Amino acid sequence: MTRLFSVDDEAVVRIYENLKSFVNAFRQGRMPRGGSGSISLSELVAFLEPSFWASLRSNEGRPTRFCATPVTPDVAVDAIAFKNAIPFNEVELAKIAPAMPPSGCLAVSAGPDGLSIWGFARSHFEPWTGPLVIWASEPGVLRVEVGIMRP
């Protein structure tokens, strides 16, 4: 499979640096442990890659649209947790995206087998609990939001 993103990619490094800057600004006790500020550069790549490829897929003729954020269950207390986590890959993202609540967000966390979708958050997170949000809004288009920066 062709890889679009890498840890050396200028855009990925810039996103990661913005994320680290934002998290450092909020480290004065206001950002709970487990929010997406603890994501590594390689996890960021593992988050972007399947998100992009899933955005190119369709489900029953509709483009795949979703919002996802890396967040742990202890931070996302209003989330609906699945009995079993779903692998965070393009096929599973395309399958589950239509079931996501309209104002919801896929809750993703890192585990021993890589990233997985552990539930649906009922609403979007505030910047201090989940500062990284990826939106697949159109085929091949990812919007990456870092904290209060909403490009």
Domain membership of residue 95 (yes or no) is yes
Domain for residue 2, yes or no? no
Mean pLDDT to the nearest integer, 58-82: 85
Structure tokens at 95: 């399958």
pLDDT at 25: 61
| Predicted structure pTM score | 0.78
Q: Where are the alpha helices (DSSP H) in 57-130?
A: 90-96
Percent of the chain with pLDDT over 70: 78
In-domain check, residue 125: yes
**Cα–Cα nearest to 132, from 44, 72, 52:** 44
Q: Where are the alpha helices (DSSP H) in the chain?
A: 10-26, 41-55, 90-96
What is the reported pLDDT for 62? 83
The yes-or-no verdict on residue 36 having pLDDT over 70 is: no
3-state secondary structure of 94: helix
The answer to whether residue 135 is domain-embedded is yes
Q: Give the chain's domain count.
A: 1
Q: Is residue 3 part of a domain?
A: no
| Residues in a beta bridge with 86 | 117
Cα–Cα distance list, 76 to 4, 34, 36, 86, 122 (Å) = 30, 10, 11, 17, 9
Q: What is the pLDDT of residues 88-134, one digit of tens each?
A: 999 999 999 888 887 888 999 888 888 999 998 876 655 445 568 88
The answer to the question of residue 151 being in a domain is no
* Residue range of the domain that includes 74: 10-146
Give whole-number Cα distances, 27 to 37, 72, 119, 150, in Å: 10, 17, 26, 20
Higher pLDDT, 51 or 60: 51
Distance in angstroms (rounded) separating the CA atoms of residues 137 and 114: 24
**What is the pLDDT, as a whole number, of residue 47?**
87
Mean pLDDT of the residues in the chain: 79
